[in-house]
Every structure is written in structure tokens, then in C-alpha cells.
Structure 1
């Protein structure tokens, strides 16, 4: 029996908002302010990021609507390109997701470290806290324990509550001296700048912005489960992205209004807490640090629950070794879970700073997401019969300009990352070569086994 489509406009809108609003907004404005220099570039980066997210969400929604399969990106890459490309890109996304968990764990560790005694403020302790958080939830997941939907909803409501509290800063009026200091610093920094310098600053600022807007790509998973997709999907995506963009602009304006550009740059590990302290005092600072740390733990838990299942799906398709599909009586992936956890921990061991991890996460994401969006050109040709049959699928308007804009935007971000951190390109290229060789070895082994 075919599953009845039940997702309505409100449902899809909430899904979009839940997928995008994560932990990045409590840290990345520091990185954007540092790289943007000017407040105009700072806010332009957040607006530009929202437009990219909108184009990406619309494209992924059509991909999911035209080819609604379990397995997401891996199946799409295989169908449109080649299984080797599917394997390489999917592995890159897994590495990127593990690094994202590491980055978010570091963000949470930074907040918790801020309220610990001075003796625990060394950089090594932040790494240790982050690694400990990952290992604790590895044990929780290995025992077969999962957070209930009610707990997840509570944590989401808590996160929205924190953001609303931050937004009070938009009406705060005690930071005029900071703004005057900002103007002096910005004028000195930009008085000899040329157009190319502003473009370069925007590109580098977009790295952290892209991390904060991530998540919209998961619209690929519900394209075939939406009621009246031709109308519901565009309405929900446009509404969701506009709400997120408005939320992010309001939050960032609140940061700017209370702390100023220099204040955002100065507060690296405890931006949101320092923001609350400025408005409400030291008690608010401690409460914010505590709440944000536990919000981070929820993200780490979800990441360790979901990503090993991608490895399971690849093993089911005989692309990864069968051991990745092994599970015990409690449905714990006894090999995939430890492997994915090890990748997250190794990322923390070799990269102790959030910004370093962000550069490499977004570089890998840029390759994966741009390739995924490019698949729409092939998918439209392969599923042309759906248009001729007048099948009720979602078909984006302004094609091919929307996917082209998205791909060009991520190429711009990729180049910006290479300028800022050339080693990210070496890592990305090395990983692709490694996974290509691994694919050849695994497939040759599978042929012999058959």
C-alpha cells in the first residue's frame, strides 16, 4: 500500500526551521564579525547566506520530489553520476558531519569552560570537555538509549527561547560608546581598501555564515511525502527561509546593538552569554552558558544517532564492508557507531579551534552540495516523463538560474576558503583520492566475493 502523503505547509515550514537553526548562531557571528571588518559586509553576508539557502532548499526539494528514495544523497549521486562519485561524495559528507559535531562540541565546551574555575580555562581543557561530551553520548547510544521526541521538542523550544531572549538586545540602548569605537576601528581598517578587498572579506565571512544556514539540504528527504507538493513545498520553503533569515538578522542586530563589532570580535567562546551579561548581569551569563552547553549535547547525540545509519545504508548496498551493517539486539550499529565517533574525536585531537574545523567542514560541504545541486540538470532529463505525465511533483520556477546561482555561490565560498586556508584544499583533495581508491578496492573485493 502506498504511503499517504500527509505533510502540509505548516509541517514542512517547521521542519525547515528545525533543520537550519542549530548551534552556529551562538558562535559564528564572532567569526563573521572578525572576517567582515565592516558592519555592512557583516549584515550583507547573512542576507547573501539566506538567499543561497533559499536556492538550495528549492533545488533539493525538486530533487527529492522527482526521485524520492531512501538513502538520500548516495542514491541521487549514483543515479545521476556514477557509484564511484556517490561513494566519494557521501564519504566526504560523513567526514564533514563528524567534523560538524566536533565543532559544535567545541562551541558548547567553550561556554561551559567560561563558568568553570580559572584553572580550567586552558585550551587543552576545552578539547577535553568536547571529547568527553562525544564519548558520553557514544556510550549512551551504544547502550541502545535514545532521546525521546518529547525531549527533543523541549530542547528545540529551549533553543528558540534562548534566541528570543537574545533578540531583546535589539531594543537595548546602552552601547553607543561601543559603536563610536567601531567606527574609528573600521574607518582605519578600510580607508585604503579597494573593491576586491570587500569581495574577499565577504567571501571569507560567508564561510561561517554557510555553517549557520546548513541543514536545508535535508529537504531532499521529504519531497515525496508532501500533500500537493507543487504548491506546498515552495510556500513552506520560502516562508521557512524568510523566517530564519529574519530571525538571524534580528539576532545579529541584537549582538551588534549590545556589543558592537569590536565586542563580537572580542568574545570568541561565550558570545551569547556575554551578550546576556551586558543586558542582565552575571547571573544571566552563567544561566546562558549552562543552557547552551546542554543544547550542544542534544546536537551531539542526534549526530551520533543518525550518521552511522548512513554507513549502514552503504553497507546494505554492498559499497562498504558488511561489518558496517552489523547491529546487536538493541539495534545498535556495533561497528559504524564506533567508527563515526572515532572520526569526530580525531577531528578534535588534530583541530582544537572551531574556525579551523569550520573552514574544512564548509570546504567539504561545498563540494558535496554543489555536486548534489548540479544533479538537477541530469535528473530533469532522466525524469522528463514526469512532466509529460503531469505528475504532481514540485518543479521550481526560475530554472536554471536558481541552481546556477547556488553552484556559483559555493564556488565563490570554496575559493575564499582556499585563499584563507590552502591546507583545507589539500585535505579535501587527499580525502577524495583516498575514497576513490577505497571504492575501487571495495568493489573489486565484492566482485571476487560474488
Structure 2
């Protein structure tokens, strides 16, 4: 049974927002302020990061419209390059996504446990219990059907947007005068390096929209709704990010941003006083649930694409015809998350190398737009979304991400080496899997078949 379209444009717009707004916006502004101590540079970095990310979102909007299929982030690599390259990029992203979900779930438990748990469970055991329970509840929700999980996602993302808007009102209640002291860096080289490192954190905070194309088979009228949903969702995200950064700066100043780890709690205390912590804890927990839920929805679709090409067993692409749920793939991803939860204890330990994978994966995926246009140049594309100012928009996105990749290489060479080894390991796994398979006449579905 194949996947049938069940999600509308609003559903996908909420998914886009959920994929992008994770926990980064509540932590990375402090990190950016440590690299860029001048307010003008700080806000310039967030504006440039938003502009580049919007260019990336438009690029993926065209790719998603051109190639609307389940597990699109895998399939487009397979079609434009080679299935081996597609697996090399995607296998590590799926693993890192499971690890990210586990780490973010731990953060949510740390916020909510002081409110819901007795004193005897205000410890690591209590945090693990809350985390596992949360993941299992969302597993059941997703098992009920893709439409049920999409509706749940819409409710959770409304809580997340409400949290950000609530924190932004601290601007009107704070009497703090921001510190406008300008601290100059020692050299232009250091300035370029600092700006690049700030973009690493900012691109991580803006990332996630690329997973939208994994829902190509789930979207009603995908060619129209994928680009419009990405466009609308990213506009909301960029607006919210700029608003909350203005609130952070207005209340804390650059120095305060550098030395205040609990940004959300600080702003909540200004707005609501002693009850602010409890209110923001509940909203932060809802925000975490939104991130977990959308990843439980998205990642099994990548398994589906891999199974269609014979890299994974056919069991991974089985779909319940009534609920449109990949029951085995869903269970496999949740099991991976729960397994990781037994071994990780902090958010930072899990995500230290994620951005390097993203810069390579997203920049290479964006190159597919040129290949798709070349392959489709002699066909009618009147019903396909086309970027204006092509090729400058995708080129700007790719060049900026390659710049960040070089910065990571220079600043963290050991981490870059480990990541490259992981990519190579994926290539080895692919060819080992293919050698063990019996020859099959089934060929990859061409993009022309989608028209």
C-alpha cells in the first residue's frame, strides 16, 4: 500500500514552523553574542542568517514542487546524483535526528519535572521517566494516523509561537538599559572567523525546513502547496526570531546575552514575576513536544524512500491504508530514540557535530535544483514553482553554507574529520548492502513519471 495525500497547506505550514523552531532560539543567541560583541554585527548576523535560510527555503520549495515524493530528501539525491550518495548523506542524518530528538526530550523533562514530579523524583531517574513517557505518548498519537499527528502538531506549535510572543512582551516591562559598549576584535581575520562561527549557530537555529520535502506524498496538491507552505512558514519563523532577539537585546544587552544561560526564564520573570518560571516551563515543554512530534512524523518517510530503492527491507515501506502510518518504520524510529535516551545525558553532547552534517547535506541537496532544471528543460513545467532571480538565490545559499563548512574545518578539524569518516562509513554500508542483495528488475522511479 502506497502513501496517499491527507495533509493540506495549513498542516504543512505548521510542520515547516515546527521543523525550524526547536530549542535553538532559546540558547544560541547567547552563543552568537559571545562571537559578535557589537550590536550592529549581532543583528546583521541574524538578518543575514535569515536571508540565506530564506533563499535555501525557496530553493527547497522548487525542489519539492519539481519532485513531490515521499522521502524527497533521499529521493532527490538518488535521482540527481546516485543512490550511494543519497544513502551516504541520509543515513547519518536519520541517526543524528534520532539523537537530537532524545536530547531535546531531556531538556523538556528538565523544565517540567519541578512542576509535576514529587521531590523524590527530582533527579536523573525522574527526568528519564518523564522523557520516555512523553516520547511514548507521542508515539501513540502518531500511530493513530498521519492526520491525527498533524492536528496535534498544529496545537503544539501554537503553544510554541505563544511562548515566543509572550517573551517578546518583556520589552515593554523591562527597565534594563542595554549595554551599548562596542568591543572590537583584534583583527579582520578574527572578525571573519567570529562571524562564520556565529553563522554556524544561526544556521542551526534556522535549519529544518529541508525535511518538508519528505512529505511530498502526503500533501494534497503538492506542487502548489509545498512551495506556498515553505514560504509562509519561513516568513513566520524569521519574523519571530527577529522579534525575540530584539527582546533579548532590549532587556539584557550584549553583555547580558553573553552571561545569561536561561534566556527564556529571565524574560518570563520580568513579565510574570514569581509565576513566570512555571508558565514558561509548561510552554517550553509544549515546545519540546512539538519538536519531538514533527520528527516522529518526518523521519519514517526517509525510511520509506530507502526501502523503495531496496536499501532497507520492504517492511520499512509498509503503510496502514486507513491511517497512512508506516507502523514498523514509526516503531523503529521511536525505538532508536528510546535506546539513545539510555546513553545520553545532555543536549550539547549529542548536537556537537550536527551542523557539519547539515552544511554538507543541505548545500549538496541545493545543487539538485540545477540538475533538475537541466533534466526538465524540454518539458512543460507550467505547474511547477520556479524561483525568481535564478540562479542567484540558490548560489547565495550554497556559497554561504560552504563558507560555514570551511569555518568548521578550520576551527574544529577533529570534529570535521570524524564527520567525514561517518559519511565514508555510510558509503561502505551502502555497497555492502547492495552486494548482499539479489539482482532486481525494479528501477528507480523517474521524475518524469510524476507528471
Does the pair score TM above 0.5? yes
Q: Does 1:137 align with 2:135?
A: yes
2: CA distance between counterparts of 1:218 and 1:444?
A: 30
- Between the aligned partners of 2:238 and 2:156, the Cα distance in structure 1 is 21
2:97 is the alignment partner of 1:97 = yes
1:304 pairs, out of 283, 293, 296, with 296
Q: Answer yes or no: is 1:247 the counterpart of 2:248.
A: no
> Is the CA contact 2:106–2:128 (under 8 Å) kept in the aligned structure 1?
yes
> Distance in 1 between the 2:79 and 2:386 partners?
19
Q: Which moved more, 1:151-160 or 1:76-85?
A: 151-160
* 2:175 alignment counterpart: 174
How high is the TM-score relative to the length of structure 2? 0.81
CA apart distance, 1:17: 4.0
Distance of 2:326 and 2:15 partners within structure 1: 26
Q: TM-score, normalised by structure 1?
A: 0.81
Within-5 A mapping of 1:356-395? 356-386=349-379, 389=380, 391-395=382-386
- Judged with a 3 Å threshold, the aligned counterparts in structure 2 of structure 1 residues 132 and 16 are, in CA distance, closer, same or farther, namely closer
Determine the C-alpha separation between the residues in 1 that align with 2:42 and 2:295.
29
Cα distance change of structure 1 residues 306 and 67 upon mapping to structure 2, 3 Å threshold? closer
**Contact preservation (8 Å) 1:175, 1:258:** yes
Tell me the CA shift for residue 417 of structure 1. Answer: 2.6
Q: 1:396 aligned to 387, 406, 415, which one?
A: 387
The whole-number CA distance in structure 1 between the counterparts of 2:435 and 2:18 is: 41
Matched position secondary structure for 1:385: coil
Q: Hey, what does 1:313 align to over in structure 2?
A: 305
**What's the CA shift for 1:390?**
5.5
1:12-51 Cα distance to aligned partner (Å, 9 max, x none): 7666445433332223223222333333332122111111
Give the match for residue 45 of structure 2: 45
Are 2:80 and 1:80 aligned? yes
Q: Deviations over 1:78-119 (max 9, x none)?
A: 111011001111212212322331342243244346768999
- Is the 1:166–1:275 Cα contact (8 Å) retained in structure 2? yes
For these two proteins, the number of residue pairs brought into alignment is 431
Aligned to 1:293: 285
> Is the 8 Å Cα contact of residues 174 and 270 (structure 2) preserved in structure 1?
no
Q: 1:237 to 1:98 in 2, by over 3 A?
A: closer
1:158 counterpart residue number: 159
- 1:198 Cα offset (Å): 1.8
Any stretches of 5+ residues in structure 2 without a counterpart? 442-451
Shift of 1:434: 1.2
Q: Which range moves more in the overlay, 356-365 or 330-339?
A: 330-339
CA separation of 1:137 and 1:355: change in aligned 2, threshold 3 A = closer
Q: Could you tell me which residue of structure 1 aligns to residue 195 of structure 2? A: 202
Q: Secondary structure at the match of 2:438?
A: helix
- Report the counterpart of residue 64 of structure 2 in structure 1: 64
Gapped runs of 5+ residues in structure 1?
Answer: none
Are 1:413 and 2:407 an aligned pair?
A: no
Determine if contact 1:77/1:372 at 8 Å carries over to the other structure: yes
Deviations 1:214-235 (A, max 9, x none): 2322453559965995xx8877
How far apart, CA to CA, are the structure 2 residues paired with 1:447 and 1:375?
Answer: 30
Q: Report which stretch shifted further, 326-335 or 212-221.
A: 326-335
CA distance in 1, matches of 2:14, 2:384: 21
| SS of structure 2 residue aligned to 1:50 | helix
Shift of 1:319: 0.9
Aligned pair in 2 of structure 1 residues 237, 276: CA closer, same or farther (>3 Å)?
same
Query: Whole-Å Cα distance in 2 between the matches of residues 419 and 113 of structure 1?
Result: 40
Deviation of the 1:276 alpha carbon: 0.9
**CA root-mean-square deviation:** 3.7
